[in-house]
């Protein structure tokens, strides 16, 4: 009770009515599987492009169907998906320790800027890290701007050899230049904590590939913030200086890009074929791989234009000990096997993929702290998930993959707030042998597989339909509501024409006869209606339950929606007085919510009282219930059932003649 102890004006807020119940989301999906790269903790993605930034592109289907399924989810109307990446046991994260320096440029012992890949796996070994001076660095200002620039290059299929710097405009026309799969460039960084361009904040908040921290390699404790020393680019390229007749000038031979690959190169200089000329030969080990002959002794500068415009391995330039030198450079002295040296790899190291994937990796462990959980165990604690998909539950390359299916359904039955979308395994051409994987109302299974385009191989692939169907669930929810059966809907993002008599949009072409066998078993069939101009459609909406009350997908999902909405919308009731006033408020808020559900067309009945009832009071609780702190509310709803069998009975009408 408020206290009024002294004279004055008291302004109070009072509750004007019952607290409304907000309907929960029904179309947020949870996907579990292997990806090209990315974090292990589940991450929300809202488009295929968003997924690609974090997890990469499609990968070989025998490894994982998840990227194909997730793309199908978004193309068919999905808007939100949590992705839980899984790997085999014991993976190692790639890392690189960048040396740091003080304001005078002196190395700081044992203090490094530690760079780690976002997520474990050998994929991180394909990352290169460069540190260079920032474009706005100026050590002469007060205070000095000793800023730096970190460039991150990722090559999905491995760092090219030889490596040609793709960031150098001079290499744009180089035949061996390869564009990185991902390029991240963080310029004008500082090691001063608290500033907006502080290196740790910029990288950790913006990079899709790496994360950074300062680390003391001696104590294994956090290190001090300091500028990392320059590394990568030309500073990590193998070089050798060839002497000339002028002691002050040499001809510098430098590899076209950084890396130890160029440390095997040697250069020969010898008399050319024509008189008064010389030749330069580039050797890789014992093999001569490039030769430039008949370079005039009187104009050795022609060697630079000739080699730099042609060579795939080296670049030439004049190097002077005490520049500038006004004299015309002399040709390099004859030399045999002058070795390039100093090439250094600037990539991440020591990442491994771990053991072969198993169903246990998909299940994850609930025994570890929540922020360290992976797989289905990590998805379980995300309340927003309403659809659960693991496309590789039918991947034959995973031993005992059927256990993944069991884990999916177990989670749905345990939490009772989500629904599993399953696929029937491939190569099931005899429909007589197809049986539902489990008796449950919390899952639905779809058959057959669908054909999609693989952008990486420029070919087509058969993939499980679960991801595409989950997108149809989301599309139907948004356009009509969760009460509408997600069936008789066109599947998008699949091949829609026959490429040959045996390469068609669906793994198997099914007619009504096969459908008559599968539908009573609870297997939802994808049918080809192109001959009728209706495309390829999902043509089933049954759960895997043998209970007639839970035959249809939309009925089960409507109950999940209502139950979860009431659960989240009535949390305020806990510890309220268990009396008539509270009971009336509970009845009111639940009735208001169900009235909205009825008006949306989700409940059957001409009047609200025909569509649902809400009871909360002496008729639902005994004195013993009240004494033990229980408030019991009984709710009944009449869900709309789909018109699965549309029957028109037509008969002849006898013409009656007027008398």
**pLDDT tens digits, one per residue of 396-413:** 999 999 999 999 999 999
In a domain, 307, yes or no: yes
Sheet-wide strand order for 523-528: 43-45, 81-85, 29-33, 387-389, 419-423, 443-447, 523-528, 536-538, 489-490
| More confident: 288 or 143 | 288
The answer to whether residues 76 and 468 touch, using CB atoms and an 8 Å cutoff, is yes
Specify the pLDDT at position 242: 93
pLDDT in the model for residue 101: 92
Rounded CA-CA distance 448/506 in Å is 7
- Decide if pLDDT at 234 tops 80: no
> 596: which DSSP letter?
H
424 and 530 belong to one structural domain: yes
399, 309: one domain: no
Q: What is the C-alpha separation between 212 and 117, in angstroms, rounded? A: 9
- Whether the per-residue pLDDT at 143 is higher than 70: the answer is no
% of the chain surpassing 90 pLDDT: 78
Sheet (strand 277-284) strand order: 287-296, 277-284, 265-271, 335-339
Position 141 confidence tier, pLDDT thresholds 50, 70, 90: confident
Q: What sign has the CA pseudo-torsion 564, 565, 566, 569?
A: positive
Q: Which residues pair with 65 in a beta bridge?
A: none
Q: Which domain-ending residue is among 520, 553, 586?
A: 553
Which residues touch 310 (CB under 8 Å, ≥6 apart)? 290, 292
What is the model's pLDDT at position 142?
62
In a domain, 220, yes or no: yes
Q: In Å, how far from its chain's centre is CA 403?
A: 24
DSSP 489: E
Give the chain's domain count: 4
In a domain, 467, yes or no: yes
Beta carbons of 302 and 280 less than 8 angstroms apart: no
Domain boundary among 231, 253, 281: 231
Q: What is the pTM of this model?
A: 0.88
> How far apart are the C-alpha atoms of 373 and 379, rounded to whole Å?
9
Q: Could you list the beta-strand ranges (E) of 103-232.
A: 107-117, 127-133, 148-154, 182-189, 210-216, 221-222, 227-228
Same domain, 100 and 217: yes
Pair 251, 191 in one domain: no
pLDDT value at 233 more than 80: no
Q: What is the pLDDT of residue 1?
A: 67
Q: Is residue 283 part of a domain?
A: yes
Same domain, 361 and 455: yes
Q: Kindly state whether residue 464 falls inside one of the protein's structural domains.
A: yes
Domain assignment present for residue 17? The answer is: no
Same structural domain, 207 and 283: no
Question: Do residues 203 and 327 share a domain?
Answer: no
SS3 letters across 598-628: HHCCCECCCCHHHHEEEECCCCCCCHHHHHC
Q: Which structural domain range is residue 102 located in?
A: 95-231
Q: Are residues 432 and 500 both part of a single domain?
A: yes
**Which of 231, 263, 288 is a domain's end point?**
231
CB 98 within 8 A of CB 112: yes
Asked if pLDDT for residue 491 goes beyond 60, the answer is yes
The DSSP code sequence of 268-334 is: EEEE-SSTTEEEEEEEETTEEEEEEEEEETT-TTHHHHHHHTT-SSEEEEEEESSS---SPPPPBPP
CA neighbor of 71 nearest in space, from 496, 468, 479, 489: 468
So what's the pLDDT on residue 311? 87
CATH number at residue 331: 2.60.40.4290
Q: Are residues 496 and 604 in the same domain?
A: no
């Amino acid at each position: 009770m408020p206290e009024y102890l002294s004279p004055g004006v008291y302004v109070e807020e009072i509750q004007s009515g019952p607290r409304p119940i907000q309907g929960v989301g029904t179309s947020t999906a949870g996907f579990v599987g292997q990806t090209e790269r990315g974090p292990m903790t589940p991450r929300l993605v809202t488009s295929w492009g968003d997924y690609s930034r974090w997890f990469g592109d499609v990968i070989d289907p025998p490894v994982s169907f998840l990227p194909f399924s997730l793309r199908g989810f978004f193309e068919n109307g999905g808007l939100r998906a949590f992705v839980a990446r899984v790997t085999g046991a014991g993976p190692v994260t790639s890392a690189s320790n960048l040396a740091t320096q003080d304001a005078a440029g002196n190395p700081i012992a044992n203090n490094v800027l530690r760079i780690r890949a976002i997520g474990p796996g050998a994929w991180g070994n394909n990352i290169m890290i460069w540190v260079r001076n920032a474009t706005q660095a100026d050590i002469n200002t007060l205070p000095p701007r000793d800023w730096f620039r970190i460039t991150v290059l990722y090559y999905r299929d491995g760092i090219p050899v030889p490596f040609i710097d793709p960031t150098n405009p001079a290499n744009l026309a180089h035949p061996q230049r390869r564009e990185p799969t991902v390029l991240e460039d963080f310029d004008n960084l500082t090691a001063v904590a608290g500033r907006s361009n502080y290196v740790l904040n910029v990288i950790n908040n913006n990079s899709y590939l790496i994360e950074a921290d300062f680390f003391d390699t001696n104590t294994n404790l956090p290190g001090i913030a300091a500028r990392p020393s320059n590394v990568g680019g030309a500073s990590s390229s193998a070089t050798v200086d060839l002497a000339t007749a002028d002691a002050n000038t040499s001809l510098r031979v430098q590899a076209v890009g950084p890396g130890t690959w160029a440390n095997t190169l040697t250069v020969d200089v010898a008399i050319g074929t024509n008189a008064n000329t010389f030749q330069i030969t580039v050797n890789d080990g014992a093999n001569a791989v490039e030769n430039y002959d008949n370079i005039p002794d009187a104009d050795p500068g022609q060697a630079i234009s000739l080699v730099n415009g042609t060579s795939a391995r080296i670049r030439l330039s004049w190097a002077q000990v005490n520049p500038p030198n006004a004299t015309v450079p002399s040709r390099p002295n004859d030399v045999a096997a002058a070795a390039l040296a100093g090439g250094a790899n600037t990539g991440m190291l020591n990442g491994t993929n771990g053991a072969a994937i198993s169903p246990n990796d998909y299940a994850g462990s609930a025994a570890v702290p929540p922020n360290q959980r992976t797989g289905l165990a990590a998805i379980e604690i995300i309340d927003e998930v309403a659809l659960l998909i693991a496309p590789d539950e039918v991947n034959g390359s995973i031993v005992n993959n059927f256990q993944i299916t069991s884990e999916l359904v177990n989670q749905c039955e345990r939490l009772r707030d989500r629904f599993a979308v399953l696929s029937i395994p491939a190569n099931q051409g005899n429909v007589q042998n197809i049986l539902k994987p489990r008796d449950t109302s919390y899952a639905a299974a779809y058959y057959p597989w669908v054909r999609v385009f693989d952008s990486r191989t420029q070919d087509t692939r058969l993939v499980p339909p679960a991801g595409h169907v989950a997108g149809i669930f989301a599309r139907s929810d948004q356009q009509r509501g969760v009460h509408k059966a997600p069936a008789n809907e066109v599947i998008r993002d699949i091949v829609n024409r026959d490429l040959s008599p045996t390469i068609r949009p669906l793994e198997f072409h099914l007619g009504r006869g096969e459908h008559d066998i599968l539908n009573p078993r609870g297997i939802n069939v994808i049918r080809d209606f192109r001959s009728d101009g209706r495309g390829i459609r999902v043509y089933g909406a049954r759960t895997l339950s043998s209970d007639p009350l839970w035959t249809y997908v939309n009925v089960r999902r409507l109950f999940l929606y209502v139950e979860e909405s009431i659960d989240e919308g009535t949390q305020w009731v806990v510890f309220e007085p268990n009396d008539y006033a509270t009971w009336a408020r509970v009845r009111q808020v639940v009735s208001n919510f169900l009235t909205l559900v009825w008006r949306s067309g989700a409940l059957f009945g001409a009047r609200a009282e025909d569509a649902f009832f809400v009871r909360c009071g002496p008729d639902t609780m005994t004195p013993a219930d009240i004494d033990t702190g229980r408030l019991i509310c009984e709710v009944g709803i009449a869900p709309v059932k789909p018109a699965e069998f549309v029957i028109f009975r037509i008969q002849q009408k006898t013409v009656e003649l007027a008398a």
